[in-house]
Chain A
Amino acid sequence: MNALRGLLKKEWRHILRDRRTLAVIVLMPVIQVILFGFAIRTDVKDIRLVIVDPTPDHVTLEIRNRLEATDVFHTVAVLPNSAGLEGLFQRGKAEEAIVFEPQFASRLGQGLPARVEVIADATEPNTGSTRQNYAMAVIRQYQRDQQTVQPGVVIATQLRMRFDPTAESSHLFVPGLVAFVLTIISALMTAISLTREKETGTMEALLVSPLRPWQIIVGKVMPYLSIGFVSVLLVILEARLVFDVPLRGSLVLLLGEGLLYILVSLSLGMLISSRTSSQRVAMMGALLGTMLPTMLLSGFIFPIESMPTVLQWISNVIPAKWFVTIVRSIMLKGTGLAYLWQETLILCAMALALLVLSTRSFHTRLE
């Protein structure tokens, strides 16, 4: 036990003496949350609005006025037909268009549904859907007001997203970020610190010592496990304080799942380091092997449902996919373990398999 304590102390000294790396490890998650947070902010203002109103009447004028009265919209053009619309969107002059059906008021007067089309530039899907929602809100409000005066008014709004038919909700980035940060810290740092020992020859000294492989592994892994844990706490706290991301489920469950995921990533880092003996290769391996899949295939940024079947299938072996699902469910839906046991079990299995594999590769080097 004295030996293990010595190893742990030594590892902490490595970490604490390498100030630059330490700063990166601690600050990176915090800065990332800020960056991601503001990048995905959906406070959409000054929307360049184009009105297509073939036959202006009191209803369309009223709706137009109401739109203009919000400080969100800014009408840049009023067109008699939608012919010029495409060009305006392409050139970025228009961000949103509202197309009224001809004879809007008279259709309403006859009790017929009047159609209005809301078109938004959804190059950035989140912004696109937000733009639409603002316009919809104004139109619905008008409809509700009218119904008290004259029941039976039906305005049929029809939505169309331009350029990207899918829309992501905005709160989703924090859960993904937790996974991302944990992956980097755990896998990358473990891989680098293990290969550093191989490069400097100290690993051999540890291997010829009476230390058992599990002691060497625990001595390596524990410090990064605790740093990862602190990062999770920081990220959750920051998400809460700065961005009001809710935590609807149990914090204990969330942290427990976090630990489980850190273990998976650490084992992955160990596995990577057992396949190489240079820090540079280990770093590239960890970046390509964990960061990219975590970014692209976990559903963190790109929804898995809209991926080709093959990629969806591959995404199942990415630990982050399951972890992102778990964190989202706990934070945003308040789901408990009763509904998350399958994902948790999968992560447990992955942790076990990776640990066995990496300890085994440790052993083969011994034998």
Chain B
Amino acid sequence: MNGTLAIQAQDLTRTFGSFTAVDHITLEVHGGEIFGFLGANGAGKTTAMRMFTGLLAPSSGTAQVAGHDVYTESEAIKRSIGYMSQRFSLYEDLTSRENIRLYGGIYGLASKEIRSRTEQMLARLGMEDAADLAVRSLPLGWRQKLSFSVALLHRPQIVFLDEPTGGVDPITRRQFWEMIYQAAAGGTTVLVTTHYMDEAEYCDRISIMVAGRIGAMGTPSELKQQYGAETMDEVFVRLVRPTNGGGAA
């Protein structure tokens, strides 16, 4: 996958009535890259991600995801991507095994394949003993890791993670990022939105969205240099409040 483009967007725009949620964004995400999508609440991260995943049609502009056009080939896109929402996407009254089985079936895997991947996944997560417990009864961190693994079950080219680490402890977050690195090392492109600036540092490249536009884009070190900042936190604050705390605040 390296070298090819996983996502390519040109002037992608989405309006809701008179409100422009995503305003002419242009970006390229390379295969195998970990691409961070940052921005304040309501900056348009989720809307952009929903357009890439085929959940929402763009108002104008063009975009290709995994080489498929978002307007006309959303079915092909859906087969090539994995998705994990802020709310984990697992059925809480089903067991881990049942959840894996369900999503395996939905993505058209053969039963034999599902069985072998299930065992592999459970072993990797160290969750063999909890496989037949309802997901509801698992700790948040486990659920989150399971959810990520389920999103990767069908070995998608690109996986979209929408604020995957909300509300988890730092250790689990660290472990979660290790899983992200593993996936990327395996060739999967990862597009992740986050609020945590320390996580931004883990990304290969990031884009910071401000009011529907891409305010800045580049590797974390490029951005820090560009804004003369020590941390990503500072970069972010300068971008979001460009006039030194002036204005309406």
Contacts and interface: CB of A to CB of B under 8 A. Distances in A.
A204 interface: yes
Interface in A282-318: none
B102 A6 contact: yes
Given A10-B94, A210-B75, A366-B55, A205 B89 contact: yes
Contacts of A10: 91, 94, 98, 102
Interface string B55-94: 1110000000000000000110011010101111111111
A209 interface: yes
A35 to B, nearest CB: 31
Contacts of B79: 210
Contact of B85 (A204, A210, A366): A204
B86 A202 contact: no
A208 B86 contact: no
A46 to B, nearest CB: 53
A205 B83 contact: yes
B105 interface: yes
A200 B57 CA distance: 23
Interface in B89-138: 89-94, 98, 101-108, 111
Nearest to B151: A205
B87 A208 contact: no
B83 A204 contact: yes
Interface residues of B, number: 32
Nearest to B87: A201
A21 to B, nearest CB: 11
A4 to B, nearest CB: 9
Contacts of A206: 106
B215 interface: no
Nearest to A216: B106
Interface in A1-37: 2-3, 5-7, 9-10, 13-14, 17-18
B54 interface: yes
A6 B53 contact: no
Contacts of A365: 55
Interface in A171-201: 200-201
Nearest to A5: B105
A365 B83 CA distance: 17
A14 B98 CA distance: 12
A367 interface: yes
A13 B93 contact: yes
A10 B97 CA distance: 12
Nearest to B92: A200
B87 A13 contact: no
Nearest to B94: A13
A332 interface: no
B56 A367 contact: yes
B93 to A, nearest CB: 5
A260 interface: no
A6 B107 CA distance: 11
Given A3-B108, A201-B85, A366-B55, 18 more contacts: A2-B105, A2-B108, A5-B105, A7-B105, A7-B106, A13-B93, A13-B98, A200-B92, A202-B87, A204-B55, A204-B85, A208-B55, A209-B78, A211-B106, A366-B57, A366-B74, A367-B56, A367-B57
Interface of B: 53-57, 74-75, 78-79, 81, 83, 85-94, 98, 101-108, 111, 160
9 contacts: A3-B106, A6-B102, A7-B105, A7-B106, A14-B91, A14-B94, A202-B87, A205-B103, A210-B106
Interface of A: 2-3, 5-7, 9-10, 13-14, 17-18, 200-202, 204-211, 365-367
